[in-house]
Structure formats: C-alpha cells, structure tokens
Amino acid sequence: MLGSPKYHHTDEDIEINAGRETVTLKVSNTGDRAVQIGSHFHFFEVNRALLFEREKAYGKHLDIPAGTGVRIEPGDTREVTLTAYSGSRHLVGFNNLVDGGLDSGQTRIDSLARMTEGQFKDGKPAARTTGAAKKGKK
C-alpha cells in the first residue's frame, strides 16, 4: 500500500493559465433563461442564444479557476476573458461543433459551418441601452 496522499502547499500565489493566449469578449444572453458556463467548456460551443464573436472564442475556455463558472442572465451583457486550451488540443463533445483537433484548418472550417447550420448566434453585441433610451425618451 502506498500510504495517504501528501499535499505541498505554498504561501505564494499560483497563476493559472500562465503564458497562454487570452482574449476578452462581450457576451449577450439573447435567450429567455440564464446560462451557466463551466470553467473548461469550449466557449465557442456554448449555448446558441449567447451572442458574441464566436470565431475569437475558438479553442478557448473561461480564464477562471477549475470548477467555477460564469452565469449570464437573460438580457444581460458582460465581458469574459478566455484562454487557450493546452495539451493535445483535441476536443470531442460539448455541442459537437468541433469534434477534432483545434489546430486542423479543416476542423475549423467544418466547425464554423456547423455553427451556422445549428443557428448559433454570432457577432458583436450591440451597445446596451436603458429602458428610457429604448422608448426614445431623454
């Protein structure tokens, strides 16, 4: 028997995802339900009602600690920071838009086509307006 696990702790801060490419995007929930996104979900493939520049999210997940998530309420717009996957960079599952190697040009082309076919929202969210501005009031 190997014995109990040992943990090595430090008083120093640990920087997650150090040295990886990041991008910050505005995301709007155009749906009628809140959307919760986990830390390691491929952001390109999140709920089809979320409006953001999906191609910029290709190959990236939220830049937050493992096991945490982000919630976006209906009608809300917020900024999220994404970071590139590391390791084999081979994704399968999620919403089945990729199902292959992230670094393959053909996989990317096929993924973008499946995104369009699946009617996933794609584009820059409009600037937020207040209720008064929507009604044409000053």
Q: Is the Cα torsion angle 55, 94, 38, 122 positive or negative in sign?
A: positive
pLDDT at 12: 87
How far apart are alpha carbons 45 and 50 in whole angstroms?
10
In the structure encoding, which two tokens stand for residue 20, read together?
């990886």
Give residue-wise pLDDT tens across range 83-110.
999 999 999 999 999 999 999 999 999 9
Q: Give yes or no for a contact between 114 and 42, defined as CB atoms under 8 angstroms apart.
A: no
Tell me which CATH code domain 22-121 carries: 2.10.150.10
pLDDT at 68: 97
Model confidence at 63, pLDDT cuts 50, 70, 90, reads: very high
Q: Give yes or no for a contact between 33 and 74, defined as CB atoms under 8 angstroms apart.
A: yes
Q: Is the per-residue pLDDT at 66 higher than 70?
A: yes
Please give the average per-residue pLDDT across 43-72, as a whole number. 97
Residues with Cβ within 8 Å of residue 129, at least 6 apart in sequence: none
Q: Give yes or no for a contact between 82 and 57, defined as CB atoms under 8 angstroms apart.
A: yes
Give residue-wise pLDDT tens across range 11-52.
888 888 899 999 999 999 999 999 999 999 999 999 999 999
- CA dihedral defined by 128, 129, 130, 133, rounded to 10 degrees? 180
DSSP-based three-state secondary structure for 27: strand
DSSP-based three-state secondary structure for 109: helix
Q: Is the per-residue pLDDT at 128 higher than 70?
A: no
